[in-house]
Amino acid sequence: MDIKIYPDPVLFEDCEEVSVINDDFIAKVNEMIETMRNADGIGLAAPQIGILGRFFVCLDFSTEERVDSLVLINPVITEKKGRVESKEGCLSIPGFYEYVYRYEEIEVKALDLKGKEIVYCPTGLQSVVFQHEYDHLDGILFPERMNSITKDIFMKKINKEFK
């Protein structure tokens, strides 16, 4: 799968809920996980590969090895607590990183690959990754989470690079 690079218009689109979880969908998800890992990423949302569906994959940070991946289908953030600052990057804006504020703890309801609802309560880095990928589903890239001065400087740099 090819990862869409800024300023590809698909990155700014709202995604639609996934209505069918079948073998074809699961194959796409597995290919997304492979694409994310091959790119040394920690998360990848559907629009980043040109699919306007509300789902994303990411590494599972619950173990040190980070060998497992999580799949969140039609995620909804239901609770938000605290504030944390972390340096973020994005596979769709390669080579650029900046500090962004996120919620430290969130609660997310989503479907798994069997269509079963799961509730996640991530903290720290897992919470940040969930929020970053969740933003992609609403056409939001991480520079939108920066303060206005930092965002202006950052956008000038990436617009120069990705003309």
Residue % of the chain over a pLDDT of 90: 96
Known active-site residue 133: yes
Q: One of 88, 117, 133, 161 is an active-site residue; which one?
A: 133
CA–CA separation, 146 vs 142, rounded Å? 7
pLDDT of residue 163: 77
Which residue in 92, 87, 75 sits closest to 4, CA to CA? Answer: 92
pLDDT of residue 64: 79
Which CATH class, in words, describes the domain spanning 9-161?
alpha beta
| Cα 99 off chain centre by | 16
Beta strands in the chain (DSSP E): 43-45, 55-59, 69-81, 84-90, 93-102, 105-111, 117-120
Domain ranges for the chain, please list them: 9-161
Spell out the per-residue pLDDT of the chain, length 163, in tens.
999 999 999 999 999 999 999 999 999 999 999 999 999 999 999 999 999 999 999 999 988 787 899 999 999 999 999 999 999 999 999 999 999 999 999 999 999 999 999 999 999 999 999 999 999 999 999 999 999 999 999 999 999 999 7
